[in-house]
A = this chain, B = another copy of it.
């Protein structure tokens, strides 16, 4: 315990009065972290242990030993804060971890790892290099994300994450690979029978999630932004689920009964053949738990350590027992509990839980730290939540680490909250949000809640649209303007309204609405708007904007490099309009009869994408109110892939003569409509940072006769 107390650190404040004092604070935090990380590897009894692959989904520990050093160099090179690499080979080999692999995605690459001595020598060179940089970098306070000091802190906090994840891997190594260590052997020695768990009521409350931009400590991209959630009342378990409580589930045949498991859980069970938690074992009818450096008889009052899938199965089993709605807390519910604690790292005197290496180098009984009767609000082990990780509105990636969070916004990574005994630095702060695939193991367990409602109040994740075409259209509708050309859907709506001053503004139809911008723009002027598109891929984004107010996409920059973007209704000026818009998938050439009674039918870049444009145009008058308008915009880009040549409205030779699309429109629409105006409207679609489509659409306005 004395040894442990000596290595306790706090993550530095970004603020302060003296830049030079801050520089030395960062220097000290860097060396403490770098050294602490190395002490963990001192637990490896011999060099071979660095190369064992106890867990097939992870690299051997030699990778992690080098990786946290390489990370400093790679980010500093990327940020052009240092000019020269130290060792290209090692900096390539130690660059990419495999933490995000699925169990059915095993890595088959062969590595020719360097020796431990080589790696240690490399770490020493990095230490010197970073130390020099800390001494020489420009530094002003507060430290902001574009400052070199931020990149140094990023490297330090990154190493602190791996301090924890490497300790998890070590729990999977054979014990004879490990040896005792003054710091890491300082485990909790207490254990006993599991306390009886029970539920405490929690009042509902509307709370705001997200770390303020002004917060005084380093944060990862996914912590920032702001989201308000109305949390309904629930009842929460007083304790984390202990080994003893979880054992009941195991002994009740929980691992053999698929009905408790989610579909994903059943697939994982089939793969893993698990019969109990990963760090348990059973010999001669006795259960044991593997900790970092030792195995002990299962400590029944310590928290059970499981993955999300196991935790969820336990809840389902429990619900079956009680006949109530039992589940994990959501992120918001967990935060409501966490809000009962004012204390936060780095401000606290001492951690209000088994956290930040301030109490033990292991878990401890679940009944040691309580607030209002609720134990382990933070610390001991991470707590799984029901919430797949997602950025909060306002989310922005850091340019030097744009794949820290974005790959996890995929509905497959759930948040863990609260930290474990070995969570330090940023990991131990109030706002920290880490997420892992639901089958992964960390020093993580769970508490459960009982709710009045069957459904889990979790919103769909705003996954990044990476389909190039859909992302292209999202940027086209909601992104930046290029070459000074105004946003096209907005310009179309504004132009047509200016050209039709007396238009009734009841119902409008945005046919071929794609990702929906014109529908929202029309909603500023019409009472109701239907947005219809043939493609579910496209329309889902309009729908998502309507439902969640935001959507995300990644657009190509150059080659396979992408830029991450997000957009929101409020920032576009559409706050409060979403209820007027409905998005429906549909075929313009075969629309349901209920889509009628419109004062305006707007078809933006639609007609040259239909398989039978004349069929559509020949019937569209039936859907308009008297005095209604059909407005078409198109660059008349006829392509066989969309429209068979025989169905092109124009751009063909008819009887040997040139016959334009405008000729064709007049021929098809002339009987029912009067051409009331024509206008060219330019648009630009970005393909890459340097390549764009630049097009002149023709808008034609057709008044119903």
Interface of A toward B, CB cutoff 8 Å: 70, 74-75, 77-78, 91-92, 95-96, 402-403, 483, 557-561, 635-638, 645, 648, 650-658, 660-661, 684, 687-688, 690-698
Contact = CB atoms under 8 A, between A and B. Distances in A.
Contacts of A92: 654-655
Contact of A559 (B402, B557, B638): B638
A231 to B, nearest CB: 38
Interface pairs A-B: 6 shortest CB-CB = A559-B651, A95-B655, A694-B694, A558-B651, A635-B690, A559-B638
19 contacts: A70-B655, A74-B657, A78-B657, A91-B655, A95-B655, A96-B655, A483-B694, A559-B651, A560-B638, A560-B651, A561-B651, A561-B652, A561-B658, A637-B687, A637-B690, A691-B693, A692-B694, A692-B695, A694-B694
A286 B566 CA distance: 91
Given A561-B652, A658-B78, A694 B693 contact: yes
A698 B697 CA distance: 28
Nearest to A680: B690
Nearest to A74: B657
A687 B561 CA distance: 27
Nearest to A483: B694
* Chain A interface SS verdict (over half): mixed
A606 to B, nearest CB: 15
Contacts of A648: 559
Given A691-B693, A694-B693, A74 B656 contact: yes
Given A558-B651, A558-B661, A692-B694, 19 more contacts: A74-B657, A77-B657, A95-B656, A95-B657, A559-B648, A560-B645, A561-B652, A561-B653, A636-B688, A637-B688, A637-B690, A637-B691, A684-B694, A690-B696, A690-B697, A691-B693, A692-B693, A692-B695, A693-B693
Contacts of A635: 688, 690-691
Contacts of A636: 558-559, 688, 690
A203 to B, nearest CB: 45
A151 B256 CA distance: 89
A255 B455 CA distance: 93
Contacts of A694: 483, 684, 692-694
Contacts of A78: 657-658
A648 B96 CA distance: 20
Nearest to A636: B558
B690 A698 contact: yes
Contacts of A95: 655-657
B560 A652 contact: yes
A514 to B, nearest CB: 17
Select the residue from A92, A692, A694 with max chain B CB neighbours within 10 A: A694
A678 to B, nearest CB: 13
Nearest to A402: B658
A80 to B, nearest CB: 10
B558 A660 contact: yes
A658 B78 CA distance: 8
Contacts of A690: 635-637, 695-698
Contact of A560 (B559, B653, B657, B684): B653
A635 B660 CA distance: 34
Contacts of A559: 636, 638, 648, 650-652, 661
Contacts of A638: 558-560
Select the residue from A78, A684, A698 with max chain B CB neighbours within 10 A: A78
